Structure 1
Amino acid sequence: MDLKFTDEQNMLRETTRALCRDTSGVDVVRQMENDPLGVPEKLWANMREAGLTGILVPEQYGGLGLDQLSCVVIYEELGRALAPGPHFGSAVMSVLALREAGSAAQQEALLPGLASGETIIVPAWLEPDRGYGPEGVRLVAKRSGEDYRLTGIKRHVFHAKAAEKLLVLARTGEGADGIDLFLVDTNAKGLTLEQQKSMASDTQYRVAFDDVVVSAAQRLGASGCGWRSWEAAMYRGIVLLAAFAAGGAERALEITVQYSKDRQQFGKPIGAFQSLAHYMADASPVSEGAKMLAYEAAWAHDQGKDILRLAPMAKLFCCKAFRDITHMAQQVHGGIGFTLDYDIQLYYRRAKQLQLNWWDSRYLEKLIAADVLDRPNVRTIADPFTP
């Protein structure tokens, strides 16, 4: 594995870090907590200007067309800053799903807007108490002439009110092959948005579909390919979430180390006490290991290698590292670390939320176990746009 970053990747890191420092400080993170839109205006405008909203959009559609490792470098910096906004849902997952399942006409119509950040499309896929696999998709899309009628509930839809369209997984038949992807306008008749509260105070919505009519032209790809396309997008997307978690863990450790130097007790910094020093020393290799695993998964994808095990491993380990390191950080800070005046609680709450978002720990363990135990059985995911 060659992890010598190119000049372009180093520039992307520096650009993203500077952008986050200038427009996504912890004051912005705090302002966006429970905000109905959850889109920091200045940060999003600067992301658009820097081209970061088009990192995965091919150059022919106005994007940067970056490889996976370059995207991981960017997401590590976004994680350090806890950068809020719809970037992952729109610029990553919706773009990947469109590239995987969308027709040439659909890509031509939608990818340029996603690349520029002018258009925001977010996924609506999880349902109440249904789980993370294909069996969890129960929202019904019933064929009615040339249209479909969607009925059901989606939860944990990030930034739904800020989006022009939702990317909806709906059931049109039985089994994993009975799932399709639909693009639904957020102002469609019969669609109701209700904001949810979460431990991370991020912007999530419960979306109710009451006989929402969508045309057949709003379906992505051929009938029955929805889950396969979504799963392929998820395997790439969770590697970026792993990088986000690794960046957040690294920054949380830095904050804690500095606090242990500044906080005096019994006439000396609390970091001088062996028990606390060992906590932070133990966290350092975990943080570095998380970054390496995210890098490896991205590098493997760029080399055309199988990431069916590496991608779930990366998100599982990086999110656990983020959660464990922020838990340790709270112990070092003591009770005051839980107060809203201190930044470490922002990292602690988001670390746990990230473990639960998208594919959670149990589902990731299931994927890893299946890959380990099913070998040498052939199990691949079609990825026609691998660089």
Structure 2
Amino acid sequence: MMGRRTTWRHLGGGMGEGGKYVEQGEFNRDQNYITTRITVDGRDGYPVEPGRYRLAVSRACPWANRLIIVRRLLGLEEAISMAVAGPTHDARSWTFDLDPDGRDPVLGIERLQQAYFARYPDYPRGITVPAIVDVPTGQVATNDYSRMSLDLSTQWTAHHRPGAPQLYPEHLRNEIDEVNALVFRDVNNGVYQCGFAGSQEAYEKAYQRLFDRLDWLGERLAGQRYLVGDTITEADVRLFTTLVRFDPVYHGHFKCNRQKLSEMPVLWAYARDLFTTPGFGDTIDFDHIKRHYYEVHRDINPTGVVPVGPDLSNWLTPHDRESLGGRPFGDGTPPPSPPPDERVDPAHTPLR
């Protein structure tokens, strides 16, 4: 379930030893997670059961943002409640400082760390989001973010909303998995390998891989509206959460500066198409995103000063991607508006 002890690594929570992110040479992400799954048959001790689990996220984190989007597209808000941590954290944990008295109202805890320690008192790794917590025991059930979103599509089908899209259709799974692997290696994780590189050589190698892959994605998307097939899939969700953070954070803060996203015509139009699709842009809190990266990564940005820009109004300019065809939700329908208590502060998004 958990591998050997290693130095904590950053992934929406854990940071390097001593609160540092940048180490000598290449950044290597610790990919050892709590791999128990929530399944229909409950094989790992966690059966699918509406109302039993709480999804802990931060809107700042791209990995958690995936789960927020998938949960919303599938209409699982009533089946799985959501705890939203604030945009910043210290070396110990994400905190629920957005809630009254700084305590999650369902779990009754101030720090996500408490749910990890409830299951593993000696938990040796970063306290990461997203995580799903078993409410009756107060213990984290899983933080295996890659598997979690797929399981929402495949194990929770009985609780999907009417009209929920097929985000991981069986006949496209091999292609989705192949695209996801490339996007993770070179883009999702690639921006971190640029930003946390501890040498010029490591940075330049990551930079080249990142922009080579972005060029490849631009060519792929020039003639098709979505990454795999003619509808939105898990692959689009995973790419979107990196693209939406590119200009506000990765271009400057992580030195991914060959071009801004807004200077890459195909990817920029693709990202705007998704942003204005219900379930995508309405989950994005640009204020939380910028505060997290610029305030938390003090070995990269020692002053903690958060930039005012960029201008967000260009996210709402026409994208003209409809001309490529495609059906965003396939035979399904768009999700309804978010529940009132899950809406992003209007001041933090151009979608007002």
TM value normalised by structure 1: 0.28
Higher strand share: 1
Rg comparison, structure with higher value: 1
Higher helix share: 1
TM value normalised by structure 2: 0.30
User: Larger relative CO (CA 8 A, sep 6+): 1 or 2?
Assistant: 2
